[in-house]
Amino acid sequence: MTTNGPNDASALGPKPLLRGWSHVVAAIGAVLFTGAVAVRCAGDPPRLISMLVYGLSMIALYAGSAAYHIGTWSTSRLRVLRALDHSNIFLLIAGTTTPIAVNVLTGWERPLVLGLIWTLAGTGLALTVLIDRLSRRVRVGLYVGTGLANLVAAPTLFVTLPPTPVFLLGLGGALYTLGAVIYARRWPNPLPRILGHHEIFHLLVIAAGAAFATAIWFWVVPYARR
């Protein structure tokens, strides 16, 4: 649904032609992935719940981003969608951590990592919602800081998982971080009218998400939880 008028978001200037469309494709992929992983985990409620948290956080991020970036919205609706778009990043960070922590970590590490990541993500989400137009650099710092908190579990993952999923998890984290830097610096901006810095950021988010999804599908889903 769009609203045209003097407060229309189009007054902010033309969007690059590809703005948001990559996340339409990613949202469809996230829906398919979530459905497939739900079928695989149907007989294991803890695993199923953790995977649904992950899958739904992916769907929320990609679908919310697509709606925010593609639609033409009134100022008030744009503000709401922007807050959701920025908040969903925190949900995805915590959502991605959840199945790994629930199914791979054991003992005190499981509640520690879950509590730490969800507390940081909840704090970032609250700040994003409560402070209108929170500084881009502050948000990026919160995103990266929340993601880096997962390093608490790195030593255990190194000795628990095979090298390939560990590499994929590290690659995903590196791609997310690179995307955050590009988002903060708004550079490079090769084709501003077609594919600019924000589109590169979106593509890196998708690539990072694909790395995590691959590791989770092939190694975390079948992992023998203890």
Q: Give the tens place of pLDDT for each residue, 48-60.
A: 999 999 999 999 9
Could you give the percent of the chain with pLDDT greater than 70? 94
Residue 225: left if φ>0, alpha if ψ -120 to 50, beta else—which one? beta
Residue 9: pLDDT band by 50, 70, 90 thresholds? very low
pLDDT in tens, 182-226: 999 999 999 999 999 999 999 999 999 999 999 999 999 999 999
Q: What is the pLDDT of residue 126?
A: 97
CA–CA separation, 170 and 150 (whole Å): 11
SS3 191: strand
- DSSP letter for 105, please: -
Does 4 score more than 60 pLDDT? no
- Residues 198, 151: contact at Cβ < 8 Å? no
Q: What is the pLDDT of residue 183?
A: 96
